[in-house]
Amino acid sequence: MPHSLNSDANPVHHDVHESVYDGLLVNDAHWAFGTDFEDPLAGVDTTVPDGVDPAELATYCLMLADDALIYSQRLSQWISCAPDLEEDIALSNIALDLLGQARLLLARAAAADPSVVPALPEGSPVPPEDALAFFRGDQEFRNVRLVEVENGDFAETIARLLIFSSFRLAVLERLSSHRDAVLAAVAAKGVKELTYHRDFAGRWFLTLARGTEESRRRLLTALERLWPLTSELFDTHPVEASVGVDPAVVADEVNVILEQVFAMSEVTRPTASPLAGVQHRKGRDGLHTEAHSLLLAELQVVARAHPMGQW
Amino acid sequence: MNILEKARAVAATVTDPELPMLTLEDLGVLREVDLDERGHLVVSITPTYSGCPAMATMRDDLVHRLQQSGFGDVSVKVSLHPAWTSDWISERGRNALAQHGISPPGAAPQGPVTLSLLPVRRAVSCPQCGSDDVSLTSEFGSTACKAMYRCRACLEPFDHVKEI
């Protein structure tokens, strides 16, 4: 940004600056979005309502946040790699919506129960939602395994987006009337965003299914690969049943949507068996695939190297 | 004009960082301008999208503009409920968008969410030449709030602010 740099430049100042970059730190108003992250829930009343257990609410918000955060990170890997520019932009917009939801939900979790936030060195400027995103280990993440596996090709990306957005939309619709007003507001906003995501995925699913022999073959292969991870979405975790939406309740509704897309696409619903957990533990319990650890390594490496960093 | 009306008038001049032809008021992002119990000014804004990256800039711009106008202690708070809808864009805002080549949104969808497997049918006309012969390029565009269109008559691409 040469213009902005020049606006602060003054040859006299060079003597007092340790480096040529010091001037950048004086006034960040010229940066497009500033460098100062504010609390995403600034001024919002985060009092946990009566009858809701704060620790359970925090854990539930982590589940919803982690689905969005991990999937957002996966989708971000498409940036500059998608089949064409429009799809590149679409996938990154969807990733951004989910990242925004994740940030609000992580902040909500931290406000409900500060003990979920990992400890950082004294004086660290890392805000709680960032501490949750960047400083938790793999087994502390509560996302379903569907969102963490590799992207695969574009067909697999579309198939996963259809399944995930159909599921999340159904859950968020119900959460829009949750007792916790913060969660309800985040969910109501998310519904509007997910509506666009699901339509995008549904239209591409149809296009690929009825496009060329190759696009159809790829889509069917993708669906077979992803199907074992789908039933986990509807497994009831005790925390979901207690404080959130029991996902088993939305299974029928999600299946109706998927059947609608499958029927128009002339695709038969897959029959592959669910991917087992380990001693009954799955994603919501913190049990993940190897892909999850590799994704986290990339997501977290810079933040972890600089726990005192100001971004 | 009392102090709140004056503060509101100042806040209403701050523009959106991504759509600079629109003020935050015309965009519907600026909600309440109020005094807290200590008599300090509190401005509420509502994000257009959950991941709107412009929120920090909006907040900084509001604080700077109000402080320049003599309001010393200003804080900006987030108002998540009710969620922002494109219906909150004012008539003046819609005209400003169109004058700058951006197609303003139609009425936001109401009622139950339905799956729509066919391209969205909107009554959109080209903000450059006025032709109705336009085609949707993508439901996603340069910012979270816009879709991309192309005019078949004058061949110009243009942005459309999405209904949400």
Mean of pLDDT values over A35-49: 83
Mean pLDDT, rounded, for A159-177: 98
Q: Amino acid identity, residue B3?
A: I
Given a contact cutoff of 8 angstroms between Cβ atoms, the answer to whether A39 and A104 are in contact is: no
A257 touches chain B (CB under 8 A): yes
| 3-class DSSP assignment, residue A117 | coil
- Name the nearest CA neighbour of B87 among B21, B18, B148, B161: B161
Domain B3-84 in this protein, CATH class: alpha beta
pLDDT of B139: 92
* pLDDT band at residue A268 under the 50/70/90 scheme: very high
- Check whether A17 has a pLDDT greater than 90: no
Per-residue pLDDT band for A3 (boundaries 50, 70, 90) equals: very low
Q: What angle do CA A66, A67, A70 make, to 5 degrees?
A: 70
> Which residues of B are less than 8 Å from A200 in CB distance?
139-140
Q: Parse chain A into domains and list their residue ranges.
A: 54-305
Neighbouring residues of A23: CB distance < 8 A, sequence distance ≥ 6: A5, A8, A9, A13, A17
pTM of the predicted model as reported, rounded to 2 decimal places? 0.90
Residue of B37, B64, B80, B84 to mutate, testing the A interface (most A Cβ within 10 Å of its Cβ): B80
Closest-CA distance of chain A to residue B53, Å = 7
Residue B22 and residue B86 in contact, taking contact as beta carbons nearer than 8 Å? no
Residue A8 banded pLDDT, cuts 50, 70, 90: very low
**pLDDT tens profile B55-90:** 989 999 999 999 999 998 999 999 999 999 999 999
Q: How many residues does chain A have?
A: 311
Q: Is the ipTM of this complex over 0.90?
A: yes
CA dist B148 and A202 (Å) reads 19
As annotated, the residues of chain B forming the CATH 3.30.300.130 domain(s) are 3-84
pLDDT tens digits, A99-157: 999 999 999 999 999 999 999 999 999 999 999 999 999 999 999 999 999 999 999 99
pLDDT of A18 reads 59
Question: B49 and chain A: CB distance < 8 Å anywhere?
Answer: yes
Q: Please indicate if any CB of chain B lies within 8 Å of the CB of A171.
A: no
The per-residue pLDDT of chain B, averaged, comes to 93
pLDDT in tens, B122-144: 889 999 999 999 999 999 998 88
A54-305 topology per CATH: Ferritin (1.20.1260)
Q: How far is A123 from chain B (nearest CA, A)?
A: 23
Of A34, A191, A192, the CB nearest to B57: A34
Residue A6: its pLDDT value, please? Answer: 41
Partnered with residue B33 across adjacent β-strands are B43
Tens digit of pLDDT for each residue in B28-61? Answer: 999 999 999 998 999 999 999 999 888 989 999 9
Task: Give the model's confidence band at A22: pLDDT under 50 very low, under 70 low, under 90 confident, else very high.
Answer: low
Q: Where residue A207 falls among pLDDT bands split at 50, 70, 90?
A: very high
Min CA distance, B22 vs chain A (Å)? 17
* Nearest-10 Cα torsion for B68, B69, B73, B75: -80
